[in-house]
Amino acid sequence: MRLDDRAKFAIIFISACIAGFFILGLGPVQEHVITPMTAGLAKLSGLILQLLRQDVTISGTLIASPRFAVEILNGCNGAEAILLLVACIASFRATVKQKILGIVAGSVVLQLVNIVRIVSLYLLGAYQRELFDLFHSAVWQVLIILVSLVIFNVWSSRVRASAPLAPAA
């Protein structure tokens, strides 16, 4: 990557992040995209917890039992990690098809990891409450962002490897 390619990447990345966070904050996006996505995460996570014999009920974005309850809010629904991934991929030199495939596949992986995160946080809260805050505020926050960056690194390495070699200058 030449210096000017890095500068272009940085400008597009920063612009995509600003635009993405602005769009995520819009009322209609929250109402019609983010809230239903978050409720879907709660439902899937709750179903997994039920399979693990946890006596949980799911109501919207809340997973509750007599032992513990978690509500999945913004910041915990993976939207920011997906936004980071989208900004990285959008900023990288690749075809539209490669970008779409990277965004879709990466978003699915991120949400699967986020479901593991939600399930583990519920279990920590229910059985090891003293560890819940540490894992909720620090461990999983860092891990989900790292997963986003690893996905981008794997995707960009594959895109770079599939690119035709430039003629020698």
CA 15/CA 77 separation, integer angstroms: 22
Structure tokens of 150?
């690893």
pLDDT, residue 167, reads: 47
95 burial class (0-12, 13-18, 19+ CB within 10 angstroms)?
exposed
Low-confidence residues of the chain, pLDDT below 70? 1-3, 164-169
pLDDT, residue 1, reads: 53
Q: Establish if 113 belongs to a structural domain.
A: yes
pLDDT, residue 5, reads: 80
- Domain count along the chain: 1
Q: Establish if 44 belongs to a structural domain.
A: no
Q: Establish if 65 belongs to a structural domain.
A: no
Q: Establish if 99 belongs to a structural domain.
A: yes
Q: Establish if 167 belongs to a structural domain.
A: no
Name the phi and psi angles at 57, rounded to 5: -120, 150
Q: Establish if 102 belongs to a structural domain.
A: yes
Q: Establish if 101 belongs to a structural domain.
A: yes
Residue 91, domain extent: 3-37+74-161
pLDDT, residue 49, reads: 98
Q: Establish if 42 belongs to a structural domain.
A: no
Assess contact for 86 and 108: CB atoms under 8 A. Answer: no
Average pLDDT value over all residues in the chain: 92
